[in-house]
Amino acid sequence: MIDDPIFYLVAVPAILVYGIGKGGLGGAVGDVVVPFMALAISPSLAASILMPILIVMDIFALRHHRRNVDWQQIKAMLPGGVAGVVIAALFLKQLPEYGLQILIGAISVGFVMLYLFKRSATEHQCGRLGAGVWCGLGGFTSTAIHAGGGPVSIYLLPQKLDKLKLIGTIVWFFAIINFLKLGAYTYLGGMSIDNLMTAAVLMPLAPIGVRIGVYLLHRVSQDLIYRLCYLFLFISGFKLLLDGISQAMGG
């Protein structure tokens, strides 16, 4: 079990932020959490500790969003998402983490730039192929570093769902993906006793963050929700991009 106070100094706000994203501000909010926790521990260790906490968050988030879901979108998104989890579980040990960070960071930042300077390019609704590609990438990066919100947002934001349906659909998609990831992390050896004990200490923060997110969702306008999703997509993407480039250069 981790007893370094610096770790808890970064882990507590990070988990609260992830819960807020789960509850009401969208999947891209949580993409900053593993990089933030990696200020104190390795990204892979941070991801392993966060895994069981995400399951608890999902349980509370599903209670709040049990009716706020577009099942047609879920049906389109799941095949790619499941494939992404399986591919990540099979090849994660062979892939350099910095390469993954650079890829998803560049895609996320590029999409936000398109939204800002050529909005029509990001308002084009993807078909099933687009759903498979973006949600597959989301399932892959979610399994690797819990940073699947960016690619899924790239697919889902142009669908122009009502804000409750948008957040609820994201919650349901990642709840299903996270239960699959639990098996993947067990297969990869991330569910050690030490990691589970550290996660148990932080677990009470999960419902608190989700409740804060739900509270904000019902008091924030739909336009602001979308803008926040794009903002967090940019922040998380830029952070991942910088981290990946730094690691690739040996920094």
pLDDT digits (tens, 9 = 90+) for 89-141: 887 777 677 877 787 778 778 777 876 775 554 455 667 788 898 999 889 88
Least confident span in 31-40, 55-64, 86-95, 178-187: 31-40
Handedness of CA 12, 26, 167, 108 (dihedral sign): negative
Domain interval for residue 232: 5-248
Q: What SS3 class is residue 236?
A: helix
The predicted pLDDT at position 189 comes to 78
pLDDT (mean) for 230-241: 78
92 vs 113: CA distance, rounded Å = 29
236 vs 30: CA distance, rounded Å = 8
**Residue with structure tokens 């990946």?**
244
* Residue 91 Cα distances to 47, 84, 87, 171, 188, angstroms: 16, 11, 6, 26, 10
Reference 170, options 11, 31, 15; nearest CA is 31
Handedness of CA 225, 230, 233, 235 (dihedral sign): negative
Helices (H), the chain: 5-20, 33-37, 43-64, 71-91, 97-117, 119-122, 128-145, 149-156, 163-188, 193-202, 205-217, 222-248
The predicted pLDDT at position 43 comes to 73
40 vs 6: CA distance, rounded Å = 7
106 vs 96: CA distance, rounded Å = 16
Q: Quick count: other Cβ atoms within 10 Å of Cβ 194? A: 12
**Residue with structure tokens 């349901």?**
172
Confidence band of 32 (pLDDT split at 50, 70, 90):
low
Identify the top-confidence range among 70-74, 189-193, 246-250.
70-74
pLDDT (mean) for 157-171: 83
54 vs 207: CA distance, rounded Å = 10
The CA dihedral of 109, 112, 114, 119, to the nearest 10 degrees, is 180
pLDDT (mean) for 170-194: 86
The residue with greater pLDDT, 203 or 93, is 203
How many folded domains does the chain comprise? Answer: 1
pLDDT (mean) for 51-76: 87
% of the chain at pLDDT higher than 70: 89
